[in-house]
Structure 1
Amino acid sequence: MHPLLDDIELVAFDLDGTLVDSVPDLARAVDAVLADLALPAAGTAKVRDWVGNGSLKLMERALRFATHADAASPGAGSEVDEALLERAHRGFLEHYGRDPGAHTRLYPGVRECLDALRERGLRLALVTNKPVAFIAPILEGFGLERHFDLCLGGDSLPEKKPDPAPLLHVAAHFGVAAEACLMVGDSRHDIAAGRSAGFRTLAVPYGYNHGEPVRDSGPDGVVESLAELV
């Protein structure tokens, strides 16, 4: 086992960009909404840089791009019309919800890692900013629904990552001290949440981190594949 697992009783995993590459399905839904609004498509490369803060923020970023809001006000960018954003977000949930796992794939080493951790008797949790309604269909598509003792989505609690609240909730739910918990993710939001919660943190470099190296976020460790954990 990886040294970061020493004395660890609970491992919390991010989903998108950590366990699965979901950008093809997310981009499909984003571009379908933009087409419905007669706006230009964003494409997978841009969506890959926008993932990580939940579906509402994803659509806000897409609308900023498609309506040139950022170009109109360099730096912070001008405000996206609230009614337009609400309509776009509803459309995204509809399009994405039709088949959220159609083109989503597990990263190499994920299944082996989860199987081994379960066999070792560790508690496993999923903590993602993706709406909770989409978690089960994706996990079921890969036969991983029984691997996790608790799953939290971005709308499960009032706060989402990088706020530590979801991780603190997981630790409290199982009665495990924070120092006996590990957060595994691909982005600065995962590392910030883990650090603030008092968890150890482990990063994978292959996911979505807004175009920045996740090592710059200062995780306790980095692995090229989750298979390295076991």
Structure 2
Amino acid sequence: MERDILLFDLDGTLTDPRVGITRSVAFALEKAGIHVENPDDLCAFIGPPLKDTFMELYHFDEAQALQAIADYRVYFRKQGMLENVAYPGIREMLEALQKQGKTLLVATSKPEEFACTIMKHFKLDSYMLDICGATMDSTRSNKADVIAYAVQKHRLPIERCVMIGDRRHDIIGGKENGMRTVGVLYGYGSYEELKEAGADCIVKDVQGLLEVLEKGGSSNG
């Protein structure tokens, strides 16, 4: 069975959102009375659901985390969303995969509204069947839930799907939905993180990712 349906994470996989996300988090933490000297120290927020990360790293309770997310979105919507850049070679990779007849989607824990705006800004949306993301109220934010939503919405046959991402949440989410998974090392996750999460294949760069996806998400065909 050919694996020709490819679901991509957004942050750390298609685009590098480091500046916008870390500045947005720093803004939210400042509102909570926490000063961060160097926003680059906040890269752990890139990828996972925001609520989980605020609660895990800063021990916020749920109410505090939700307030932090609201503050985060003030900066992100105004400025941080487009403090972002597409990784070199991504457009060419998507174009090549599309020409080969692959079906491409985005599955991200970022709110769908923001994900669509970012994809359109970089003119990457035209390669995608759909851009599936979290809901603004966080009722759908877990990566596994976003992937399941994409599968149900488009009736995707699981045996033909591959989930691609840079963090353990992407790999675990794909596995929970019965998919083959590919981890990328040019984003924000380490080899150890991706391996421990159970990635079927791990690649170091965009060219390597293209080669693996041309073979259905396998490094050996």
- TM-score norm. by structure 2 comes to 0.82
Cα deviation, 1:144-173, whole Å, max 9, x if unaligned, reads 12111111112278444443x332332343
Task: Decide whether the 8 Å contact of 1:53 with 1:129 is kept in 2.
Answer: yes
Task: Decide whether the 8 Å contact of 1:48 with 1:208 is kept in 2.
Answer: yes
Cα deviation, 1:60-98, whole Å, max 9, x if unaligned, reads 356x1xxxx5xxxxxxxxxx2544333322111111111
Give the AA of the match of 2:35.
Answer: P
User: Which residue is equivalent to 2:105?
Assistant: 125
Shift of 1:210: 7.8
Q: Closer, same or farther in 2 for the Cα pair 1:128/1:43, shift >3 Å?
A: farther
Gaps of 5+ in 1: 1-5, 70-79
Give the AA of the match of 2:100.
Answer: R
What SS does the corresponding residue of 1:93 show, helix, strand or coil? helix
Q: Closer, same or farther in 2 for the Cα pair 1:118/1:211, shift >3 Å?
A: closer
Gaps of 5+ in 2: 212-221
Task: Decide whether the 8 Å contact of 2:17 with 2:46 is kept in 1.
Answer: no
Give the AA of the match of 2:36.
Answer: A
Give the Cα–Cα distance (whole angstroms) in 2 for the partners of residues 211 and 226 of structure 1.
15
What SS does the corresponding residue of 2:74 show, helix, strand or coil? helix
Give the Cα–Cα distance (whole angstroms) in 2 for the partners of residues 211 and 121 of structure 1.
30
Structure number with higher helix proportion: 2
Give the Cα–Cα distance (whole angstroms) in 2 for the partners of residues 15 and 226 of structure 1.
14
What SS does the corresponding residue of 1:134 show, helix, strand or coil? helix
User: Which residue is equivalent to 1:77?
Assistant: none
Task: Decide whether the 8 Å contact of 1:100 with 1:137 is kept in 2.
Answer: no
> What is the count of residue pairs matched by the alignment?
209
Identical counterparts, % of pairs: 27
* RMSD (Å), alpha carbons: 2.5
State yes or no: 1:97 paired with 2:92.
no
State yes or no: 1:151 paired with 2:146.
no
Q: Closer, same or farther in 2 for the Cα pair 1:205/1:160, shift >3 Å?
A: same
Give the Cα–Cα distance (whole angstroms) in 2 for the partners of residues 175 and 36 of structure 1.
42
Give the Cα–Cα distance (whole angstroms) in 1 for the partners of residues 117 and 204 of structure 2.
27
Task: Decide whether the 8 Å contact of 1:30 with 1:42 is kept in 2.
Answer: no
User: Which residue is equivalent to 2:116?
Assistant: 136
